[in-house]
Amino acid sequence: MSAKLYACLLSEWVDITNTDTLIENLPVQEWLQKESPIRADGLDENNLNSFKENISKLPFIDIFYKGSIYSINPIFLQMVR
């Protein structure tokens, strides 16, 4: 089972996993591979704490979805395995 990535955009949770969405100018799948410590095959414990620390320093991340740019707090991204 592969991971799914959801974003809360204007109070609606949207599955952005297999879309043309960009997160901080990276396609979703590339962002999952490069930026997220949570992988489809499991959790990378070594990187999880540094990821949490770094992402919590960002007040907003930009998500380009269906022609609009949303600036959301990273807590409004959810990964489901």
DSSP-assigned states of every residue in the chain:
---EEEEEETTEEEE-TTSS-EETTEEHHHHHHHT-SEETTEE-HHHHHHHHHHHHT-S-EEEEETTEEEEE-GGGEEEE-
What pLDDT shows up at residue 52?
A: 63
What pLDDT shows up at residue 41?
A: 53
Q: What is the pLDDT along the chain (81 residues), one digit of tens a residue?
A: 467 889 999 999 999 999 999 998 999 988 887 776 555 555 566 666 666 666 666 678 899 999 999 999 888 888 887
What pLDDT shows up at residue 1?
A: 44
